[in-house]
Structures are given as C-alpha cells and as structure tokens.
C-alpha cells in the first residue's frame, strides 16, 4: 500500500456484508487504509454476489467461520492492533457471535467499532428487514423525489446505501479514529441509512424553507420545473437540464433562441406554467440528436449536459483529462475520490479473491502476534 496516501497506517477489519459496509471499507482502502476483510466460508456461488467484487479492491481477504471459537479468536487478534471495525449485521448478531463492542473494546480500548444498518441500533424498526428504498421512504427522502401528486421516483441505491449509509459510516469512523488518537478511547459508530438519508435533506430544507406535510408541498424545489429535468432527443438519447439560477436560465434560453419568448422569460418560477413549458421544450429537444445539443451547449454555462452511460462517460474528454473511469480486465471501475493536491490519481487497486490472503495472515499472526503487515509495505 503506497505510504503517501492520506490514510496510510490506518488499519481496518471488515466483517463481510453487502452494500454500504463493503463500499465504506473500499473507500477507506482507496484512501490508503490497510483493510482486511473477513469473508465467510462458502460451499458454492451465492446468487447476486460476486467472488471478486469491485468493492473488495485494495483489501486483503481472510476466510473465517465466525461461529468457530478458534476463528473468532483470530478476529480478536486482528482487532488488538486495528483502528477500526466495520460490520453490517442486524442489531445483536455480532454480540451473539461473541464479537460485540464490549468484547472488542476489552482487547483494544482504542477501537472504533463501525456498525452499518438500515434502521439503526434501536427504535421499533431496528430488527425489521428493509432495503434502500424503504429506509429513504421512512426518512422523508423519497417524498420529495416526484412532482406533486405523482408517484415518487425510485432513485438508484446511491441515495440510501451509499449517500445515507456508506459515506456517513466513513465520516463516523474517521471522526472516531481522530478522537481515539488524542484520548485513547474508542467508540461505537451507529451509522443508519435512515439517519443519513434524513440528514442529507437539510440542504433541501435550506433551499425550500419551511414545508408543510402533504403531497402539494414538496420539499424539493428542483422537481417538476421545466428547467430541471431530462429531455429525450431525436436519436433516443437524453440531455439533462438544470439551470436554476436566473443568469444560467437566461443563457439556456439564449442558446435555444427563446430569449424573447415572454412565456419562458417571465415564468421560470411559476409552477403553474411548468408543465406547458416542459412540453414545449420536449418538442424542441426531440427535433435533433443528442450530439446536436452537446455541440450547441458546449462551453456554455446553460447547465445542460448529456446523459451518459458509464461506458460513454469513459470515452468523454472530461474523463480523458481526469482519468475518473478506468477499464480493468474489460470492466469499468471509477477511481478513488476525492483527490489530494500534489498526488497523481492512482488506478484502481487489485481485487484479491476470497481467502487469497488467509494463509499469509494466519502465519503472520502466529509468528509475530501483531498486525499482519502487507508484503508490499
């Protein structure tokens, strides 16, 4: 692991899970942390799970049966010298496995114990099953995703699992590690998608001001406007438009030759006029291919951008300049983010197979009774 990355020297133990937990651990590994993921034994393939998912890149893999006393003791040995732990089970599961916070803090008082759940560690829903859409629905984040009186739009899991879950877990772990280094005391991070999805709405609330309950008073002022949506082009492609500020809206109208159209000029924020104006724009955009609109708005501040697939994004000049997307063994991966001044963005790290590092880690623990150093350090 390169020593010039911001989290070089930080040690994380990840207990295998799905979704936001592995993503959070991947992000820490991308930033330089040494992450050992404890995978569970498998007798065969599991539907929907890959043997070498992108979220395992940059980590070392150790296969252990946490129901075995001997394997549980291996985890505790790792935790003695770890800065943080990530687990994503329902509340109480780690305790039943003998790896709850009290036991882990007994072997390492400085450990930051990161818990990733949908509903949180307490409350009437804590034990209930759920998925991304359920969490953001209950948190109020889905309510503002559709125009008045229309069915809320189902967003990608980026809103709940990643935005409200993984990124808040990363923030909590890093805050806890900083505190532990000055106080000597670890903590438990209770990262719930429900909480994070609700917290993210503070930005919308600051834009919309106070809102009343009810379908006619959506909290998201960017939903429904003719200047904040996607439009289909003649070739079936789409462009995105979101020119909120009046100066950008004026440039948008100028590019389309609508600067003298009083309906557009005078009714940017008139919700009653939005449907009709959107219909007119739909006809305009449908008259030409996506490439035409890309060329027309290229270099402008009209806040118009094509809707690209990851493969199209990979080929775009912006990516050619920043190298955000990489092709690894024929598949696309996005590079680590954010970036740091003076550092050249590294390509995605290698993804180890399940259990690839088991023998090396067990041998190192047996011989040195400390954190198993990576062979590349």
Cis amide bond preceding 338, omega within 30: yes
Closest CA to 53 of 335, 345, 327, 354: 354
Residue 197 parent element (H or E): helix 193-208
- Mapping DSSP to helix (H, G, I), strand (E, B) and coil, where does residue 107 land? helix
In the set 73, 102, 131, 301, the catalytic residue is 131
With tokens 């651990």, the residue in question is 25
- The residues, ordered by sequence, that sit 6+ positions from 121 with a Cβ below 8 Å of its Cβ are 91, 115, 190, 192
The answer to whether the CB of 34 falls within 8 A of the CB of 372 is no
19: left (phi over 0), alpha (psi -120 to 50) or beta: left
Residue 321 parent element (H or E): helix 317-322
In the set 30, 161, 195, 357, the catalytic residue is 161
The answer to whether the CB of 106 falls within 8 A of the CB of 36 is no
With tokens 């088991």, the residue in question is 358
Residue 81 parent element (H or E): none
| Angle, vertex CA 227, rays to CA 167 and CA 211, nearest 5 | 60
Please indicate whether residue 131 is annotated as part of the active site: yes
- The residues, ordered by sequence, that sit 6+ positions from 96 with a Cβ below 8 Å of its Cβ are none
| The CA-based dihedral angle spanning residues 262, 268, 270, 271, taken in that order and rounded to the nearest 10 degrees | 130
Please indicate whether residue 195 is annotated as part of the active site: no
The answer to whether the CB of 40 falls within 8 A of the CB of 179 is no
| Alpha-carbon separation of residue 110 from 13, 79, 85 (angstroms) | 14, 10, 11
The answer to whether the CB of 57 falls within 8 A of the CB of 335 is no
For residue 360, the number of C-alpha atoms closer than 13 Å in the C-beta half-sphere is: 11
Catalytic residues, which ones? Answer: 131, 161
């Amino acid at each position: 692991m390169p020593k010039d990355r911001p989290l070089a020297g930080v040690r994380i133990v990840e207990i295998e899970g799905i979704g936001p937990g592995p993503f959070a651990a991947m992000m820490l590994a991308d930033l330089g942390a040494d992450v050992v993921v404890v995978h569970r034994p498998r007798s065969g393939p599991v539907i929907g799970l890959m043997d070498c998912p992108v979220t395992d890149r940059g980590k070392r893999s150790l296969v252990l049966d946490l129901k075995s006393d001997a394997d549980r003791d291996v985890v505790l040995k790792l935790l003695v010298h770890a800065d943080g732990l990530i687990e994503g089970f329902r509340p109480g599961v780690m305790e039943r496995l003998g790896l709850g916070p009290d036991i882990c803090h007994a072997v390492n008082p400085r450990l930051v114990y990161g818990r990733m759940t949908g509903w949180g560690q307490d409350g009437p829903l804590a034990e209930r099953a759920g998925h991304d859409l359920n969490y953001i629905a209950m948190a109020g984040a889905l309510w503002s995703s559709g125009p008045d009186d229309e069915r809320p739009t189902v967003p990608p899991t980026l809103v709940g699992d990643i935005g409200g879950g993984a990124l808040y877990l990363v923030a909590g772990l890093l805050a806890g590690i900083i505190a532990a280094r000055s106080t000597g005391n670890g903590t438990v991070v209770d990262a719930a998608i429900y909480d994070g999805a609700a917290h993210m709405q503070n930005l919308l609330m600051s834009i919309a001001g106070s809102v009343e309950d009810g379908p006619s008073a959506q909290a998201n002022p960017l939903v429904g406007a003719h200047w904040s949506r996607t439009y289909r082009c003649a070739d079936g492609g789409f462009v995105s438009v979101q020119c909120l500020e009046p100066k950008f809206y004026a440039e948008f109208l100028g590019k389309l030759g609508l600067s003298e159209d009083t309906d557009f000029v005078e009714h940017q924020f008139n919700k009653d006029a939005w449907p009709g104006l959107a219909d007119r724009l739909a006809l305009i955009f449908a008259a030409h291919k996506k490439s035409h609109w890309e060329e027309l708005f290229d270099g402008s501040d009209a806040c118009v951008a094509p809707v690209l697939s990851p493969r199209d994004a990979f080929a775009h000049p912006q990516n050619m300049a920043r190298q955000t997307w990489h092709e690894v063994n024929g598949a696309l991966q996005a590079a680590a983010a954010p970036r740091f001044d003076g550092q050249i963005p590294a390509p995605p790290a290698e993804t180890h197979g399940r259990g690839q590092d088991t023998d090396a880690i067990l041998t190192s623990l047996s011989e040195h009774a400390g954190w198993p150093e990576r062979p590349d350090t």
